[in-house]
Structure 1
Amino acid sequence: MTMTVVPAPAETGHSVAPPGRNRRVRQHWGATPYLFLLPALTLLGVFFVWPAVTAVQLAFYDYRVVSPAEFVGLGNFSHMLGDDRFYTALTNSGLFLIGMLPILVVIPLLLAVLVNLPLRGIKVFRLVYYLPVVTSMVAVAIAWNYVYHQRGILNWLLNTLGLLDQPVQYLLDPGWALPALVLVESWKSLGYYMMIYLAGLQSVPRELYEAAAVDGAGPWRRLSSITVPMLRPYIAVVMVLAALDSMQVFTSVFVMTQGGPQDGTLTLGYYIYDAAFRHFNMGYASAMGLVLWAILVVFSLVSYRLTRGKAAAR
């Protein structure tokens, strides 16, 4: 009968660590990810969390920078209820929402269907439509200022086609200024939402289109019966993101119209800036910012409900 001798841990060259040491090692490695995150979390706290908390606090104070803050409770919000300019800004933001939402939901979908086709040079087409997204809004607004100028290319083109008798000052006309800015904001964002739809189109099985083509379905029939139903979760996301963008319009208003003419393009974003940095009423601006934040939270909750419901259905 053969006996097998198992060497002791010391004989094998390996030592067995005490249980307490293993626990300390595990605890040490458990804290390591947080040490790597510490610089980013510090920056987030200094430049986002702390200003946000301060803004919420200032919403309940009368603070005009040059004088000490004075607690007024809900005074800023009660003043807001009687402020006609606030209602004008809220209405104009709603008009931006009504004007931009159909454009940013429908046109990017059609563009995504187009750029998803296996055509020659389609990558260049995608690049051209995405360039405005990565271009500074300030540069875009300045360029469109020349387009809308009384002697700009738009008036020249319409006059050449015989559609216009005399030049229109688009940014100085209360009836034209807001639609002009809606067009600028929508044009800049088309490529962004197009890419969202394009990502969704990549997940649609090609067999569905092939089967529909065999059955004699045309392009519009395939779009309405296959593409749109399959992209409903993406459409829901685009709708809410577009709504959030439209409620936060600021840069184009700041560069092109300054809220005019006659407050015709005054938005909540610009009115908050105007109250804070032109009239130095930081408390009132913070209160309006809190209201805008509440509106954005409502849109975000709607987005969550829609996307969760669609995901569960799938």
Structure 2
Amino acid sequence: MKDVKSVAVSRIPGQRWYTPYLFPIPALVLFGVFFAWPAVTALQLSFTDYDGVSPPVFTGLDNFVKILDDGRFWTALRNSLVFLVGLFPLLVVIPLPLAVLINQKLPGIKTFRMLYYLPVVTSMVAVAVAWNYVFHQQGVVNWLLTGFGILDEPIQYLLDPVWALPALILVEGWKNMGVYMMIYLAGLQTIPSDLYEAAKIDGANAWHRMRRITVPLMVPYIAVAITMAMLDAMQAFTTVFVMTQGGPQDATLMLGYYIWSEAFEKYDMGYASAVGLVLWILLIVMALLNYRLTSGKKDGR
């Protein structure tokens, strides 16, 4: 007996066998123009000496050899990894209990959700400019710390090699924490409430429910959060560009800003493409490692 739906569809006037294949074409064109073509071009330029004006000159592996001897590249890589480690608790750990909190049916919880998500929809440039004033020598942070006697004199945070990078970590984490909280919230709403009710009957307190039910079932969402945090941290640019320009003394120089600087300040497009390729490979390795670790936990191993 033929399927009624398939017979009906086959009789639609003007339909051709290739019609379903036409729908993905716009997305494929956008993918090719804005991702595939630039990626292939960058890969080609990474093996050349190119200033953006003169024709590229093939140099083989010279750009990659230069990376090995480039102290600023290793400084940028180290700062990016420190930036990632600093962002990890702000973007991966803290948003989970916050998501558990806003998942409760409490008075005013919708308003709290809106206020907590507000920094996400605010321009990163505007956020960075505002935090510049917060970290100023006469800003709110110094006013509070000196007022409570914690500091004897104000600190110029963004001009201090010790404090500049932690300041950027705080700004980036504050700006993006709401995104990760909403990811976790979506995951929490997929967990059956029967599991929590059964755990309560068995005498499990809030900590045990979080440890034995919430965290294990949220592993796929935690994996997504870790991957997104790695991408955000290793490609950070706007915060650095607006607040520190990689200073002081390269204390906040990170790979995203370093690639831009080499390409558009020094006009060494070939070398910038090579560094970008190294960053791309590094992100793939980190994502695969994260997948291996989290998939093992998800499967119960």
Establish whether residue 94 from structure 1 lines up as the match of residue 42 from structure 2.
no
Give the whole-Å Cα distance in 1 for the aligned partners of 2:276 and 2:295.
Answer: 28
1:104 partner letter: L
Which stretches of structure 1, 4 residues or more, deviate above 6 A after TM superposition? 25-28
What TM-score comes out, normalization by structure 1 length?
A: 0.86
How far has the Cα of 1:299 moved from its partner? 2.5
Establish whether residue 189 from structure 1 lines up as the match of residue 189 from structure 2.
no
- Select the residue among 220, 236, 240 that pairs with 2:227: 240
Change (3 A) 1:57 1:218: same
Give the whole-Å Cα distance in 2 for the aligned partners of 1:88 and 1:235.
Answer: 29
How far has the Cα of 1:50 moved from its partner? 1.4
Give the whole-Å Cα distance in 2 for the aligned partners of 1:26 and 1:276.
Answer: 55
> 1:118-133 maps to which residues of 2 (within 5 A)?
118-133=105-120
How far has the Cα of 1:45 moved from its partner? 2.0
1:101 partner letter: F
How far has the Cα of 1:224 moved from its partner? 1.9
Q: Which residue of 2 aligns with 1:221?
A: 208
Residue identity (%): 64
How far has the Cα of 1:55 moved from its partner? 0.6
Give the whole-Å Cα distance in 2 for the aligned partners of 1:310 and 1:73.
Answer: 43
1:39 partner letter: P
Q: Which residue of 2 aligns with 1:109?
A: 96
What TM-score comes out, normalization by structure 2 length?
A: 0.90
Give the whole-Å Cα distance in 2 for the aligned partners of 1:135 and 1:53.
Answer: 33
Q: Is the 8 A contact 1:129 1:191 kept in 2?
A: yes
Q: Is the 8 A contact 1:272 1:288 kept in 2?
A: yes
Q: Which residue of 2 aligns with 1:76?
A: 63
1:204 partner letter: I
Give the whole-Å Cα distance in 1 for the aligned partners of 2:41 and 2:79.
Answer: 28
How far has the Cα of 1:34 moved from its partner? 3.6
- Radius of gyration: which is bigger? 1
Q: Which residue of 1 aligns with 2:247?
A: 260
Report SS of the residue matched to 1:197.
Answer: helix
How far has the Cα of 1:27 moved from its partner? 11
> 1:1-314 maps to which residues of 2 (within 5 A)?
29-306=16-293, 308-309=295-296, 312=299
How far has the Cα of 1:301 moved from its partner? 2.1
Q: Is the 8 A contact 1:240 1:302 kept in 2?
A: no
How far has the Cα of 1:265 moved from its partner? 0.3
Give the whole-Å Cα distance in 2 for the aligned partners of 1:218 and 1:162.
Answer: 40
Report SS of the residue matched to 2:222.
Answer: helix
Give the whole-Å Cα distance in 1 for the aligned partners of 2:53 and 2:205.
Answer: 68
Gaps (5+ residues) in structure 1?
A: 1-22
How far has the Cα of 1:72 moved from its partner? 0.4
How far has the Cα of 1:64 moved from its partner? 1.2
How far has the Cα of 1:202 moved from its partner? 1.1
Q: Which residue of 1 aligns with 2:5?
A: none
1:257 partner letter: T
Superposition RMSD in Å: 2.2
Q: Is the 8 A contact 1:244 1:299 kept in 2?
A: no
Q: Deviations along 1:91-149, whole A, 9 cap, x unmatched?
A: 00110111111221211001001101110110111111111122221111111111111
Q: Is the 8 A contact 1:100 1:246 kept in 2?
A: yes
Change (3 A) 1:26 1:82: farther
Q: Deviations along 1:16-70, whole A, 9 cap, x unmatched?
A: xxxxxxx9x9996232234343333333322222111111000000011233211
1:245 partner letter: D
Give the whole-Å Cα distance in 1 for the aligned partners of 2:277 and 2:256.
Answer: 11
Give the whole-Å Cα distance in 1 for the aligned partners of 2:283 and 2:132.
Answer: 29
1:169 partner letter: Q
Gaps (5+ residues) in structure 2?
A: 1-9
Give the whole-Å Cα distance in 2 for the aligned partners of 1:270 and 1:28.
Answer: 51
Q: Is the 8 A contact 1:237 1:303 kept in 2?
A: no
